[in-house]
Amino acid sequence: MKLLKRDYDPHLGITEESWYDEMAGTLTLKRFQDVEHTLAMNKLQFNDHAGKKPNFQDVKHGMFHKARIPFILVEKWLREDGFDWFNSSNADKRKKLNDNENSKLLVRPGKL
């Protein structure tokens, strides 16, 4: 396979590559994102909030920061599960974030 093009989006932190397989005559697009920094920040914030009473001064217009989700994961959910984060209900978003599989996305303990 031959790498044709590699683009990096600094706003999303996503790299996209275009690969061509001459033998098969196929083009493959790959998208990836380094999420280790995001998950490390989530863990630090989560641990900072653990064991503390909720600070209601953090609440603005009835909302507070509960999770940080890498954009590549939002794309994966849409592609693999059909879950559209941007067009889903608040109840569906809560269900997704309360799933144990997504616990590393939370920046505060507790269920939504």
**pTM higher than the cut 0.85:** no
Q: Are 97 and 105 in contact (CB under 8 A)?
A: yes
* pLDDT of res. 49: 81
Cα–Cα distances (Å) from 104 to 21, 41, 43, 93, 97, in that order, read 36, 10, 7, 15, 9
Q: Give the pairing type, strands 26-33 and 2-9.
A: unpaired
Query: Would you say 98 and 112 are in contact if contact means Cβ atoms under 8 Å apart?
Result: yes
pLDDT tens string, the chain, 112 residues long: the values are 999 999 999 998 999 999 999 999 999 999 999 999 999 999 999 998 887 766 655 666 666 788 999 999 999 999 999 999 999 999 999 999 999 999 999 998 888 7
The CA distance from 64 to 105, in Å, is 15
∠ CA 21-31-38, nearest 5°, is: 155
Residue 42 half-sphere exposure toward CB, CA atoms < 13 A: 17
